[in-house]
Amino acid sequence: MLRNTRLGYGWMASVLHWTIAILIVGQWILGKAMKNVADQRLSFDLIQWHKSFGLLILALAILRLAWRLLNPRPALPADMSGLERRAAGWTHRSLYVLMVLLPLSGWAIASTTVLEIPTFAFYLFVVPDLPMTRSDAGEALWTSVHQVLGWLLLVFVALHVAAALRHHFLLRDGILLRMLKPETPPDGQ
């Protein structure tokens, strides 16, 4: 089943979820690695790949958000407390916001740097800069914002993973299986 139902996620939501998750992990690793490379050519390539994958995450996150808005959201287990429901809602909303803002802040860095190095999306085409003023101060500001958002995303991803593992191993309510095996409804529904 492609679309979500009230009982579980469809294939589209699952593929978008896991693709974005893998890309985020890869971006974190690439972001750390590109800062520690002495070879300038390799560093340039890693930065271009980091920017390319960041823009891909932005596009996929927007697609995923649209898909979520157009599909029913699977019901949470009936025995979840109100606090757990609110925490899940805020964590998911925070993840969506960060999946959009983090790539945008990276794009802002590329758009404000005085180096004026173009962004080559997967070396296929040049991505235009955002309409922003180039300055060292602007680049420094957006670099700081990007780093803070990166750490925030890491925190929310860790919360999301911890909650999923709790549901799977402690509560055994099938919540994680809905995203691992689309169309798998949680127990008791």
d(CA 185, CA 175): 8
For 94-124, write each residue's pLDDT tens digit: 999 999 999 999 999 999 999 989 999 999 9
The per-residue pLDDT for 188 is 46
How would residue 7 be classed by pLDDT, with cut points 50, 70 and 90?
confident
User: In this predicted model, what pLDDT tens digit does every residue of 123-158 receive, in sequence order?
Assistant: 999 999 999 999 999 999 999 999 999 999 999 999
Minimal CA–CA distance to 109: which of 83, 135, 89, 91?
135
Beta bridge partners of 106: none
Rounded to two decimals, the pTM is 0.93
Provide the pLDDT for residue 6.
87
List pLDDT tens digits, range 12-55: 999 999 999 999 999 999 999 999 999 999 999 999 999 999 99
